[in-house]
Amino acid sequence: MPDWLNAIILGLIEGVTEFLPVSSTGHLLLAERAMGLTGPAWDTFAVLIQLGAILAVVVLYFQRLWDVVLRLPTSPEARRFVYSLMIAFAPAVVLGLAFHDIIKQVLFESPRLICWSLIIGGVVLAAIERFSPPPRQFDAMAFKPATSLGVGLFQVLAMIPGVSRSGATIVGAMLLGADRRAAAEFSFFLAIPTMTAAFALDLYKAKDTLSLDQGGLIAIGFVTAFVSGCFVVKTLLAFVTRYGFMPFAAWRIVVGAGGLIALGLVGH
């Protein structure tokens, strides 16, 4: 299969799964293994194209985000929203910088860990969907500082491939009293600084190894992730409001179990 087609397929996987609680990184790494795309170059590709999906949030929420920027000097509500994102983002900055190399060199190289993370995360998501406390926070732009910090600590769990950044933040928000829609929306907002920072860090780490050919493939994956990400962001809130997160829990378990069976058959 030509590399450009591989880039489109991976970009589509990224865009579709980035905002779903199913682990985009886990799906990308398993897809790379299945397609025979191993090595640091494709691992870096998987991280860099995530910015395309994040751009979808910026575009679709531009008016609300720009309104926050304009009101920052005069609005306590706007400042509180920015502070809440900074508080939620902080744990990922500290631990991401501290453990970046271990995460990339060890955890990213363990497909069995990814599969088990998918399964365990699916069970947890199903349990939260069934037993989460009654919601008392319904506005993603008005989380209390303690809630934001709790969500940020949950996000750190997503440094383990297969856990899911969106899944961890949604579970954390729901446990702390957010309803489904607010939990998903706050996860969207938190993705902007988190994945932008991850993009910048990986780009810096890989600056000496990236080639023009890789740049073309990254551009293809980036655009594909952006377009598919726009579709998911536009439809996800209505979907989870109506159906909840149980379909995603089931999907995680099926993919994780299927991955373990495949690994057992090929002897890895």
Which residues constitute the domain of residue 89? 3-266
Residues 6+ apart with CB under 8 A from 9: 31, 35
Closest alpha carbon to 161 in 205, 199, 112: 112
Surface-to-core class of residue 199, CB atoms within 10 Å of its CB (0-12 exposed, 13-18 middle, 19+ buried) = middle
Look up residue 210 and give its two tokens: 């990236």
- Confidence (pLDDT) at 199: 81
Give the number of other CB atoms < 10 A from CB of residue 79.
14
Look up residue 240 and give its two tokens: 């989870």
Cα gap 188→184, rounded to integer Å: 6
Q: Decide if 171 contacts 124 (C-beta within 8 A).
A: yes
pLDDT < 70 positions in the chain: 40, 100-109, 208-213, 267-268
- Confidence (pLDDT) at 46: 78
Beta bridge partners of 178: 137
Cα gap 135→153, rounded to integer Å: 20
- Confidence (pLDDT) at 109: 67
Cα atoms found within 13 Å of the Cα of residue 254, Cβ hemisphere only? 6
Place of tokens 């088990």: 116
- Confidence (pLDDT) at 83: 97
pTM over 0.85: yes
Cα gap 164→168, rounded to integer Å: 6
Written as one letter, the residue type at 86 is M
Surface-to-core class of residue 211, CB atoms within 10 Å of its CB (0-12 exposed, 13-18 middle, 19+ buried) = exposed
How many domains would you assign to the chain? 1
Q: Decide if 151 contacts 169 (C-beta within 8 A).
A: yes
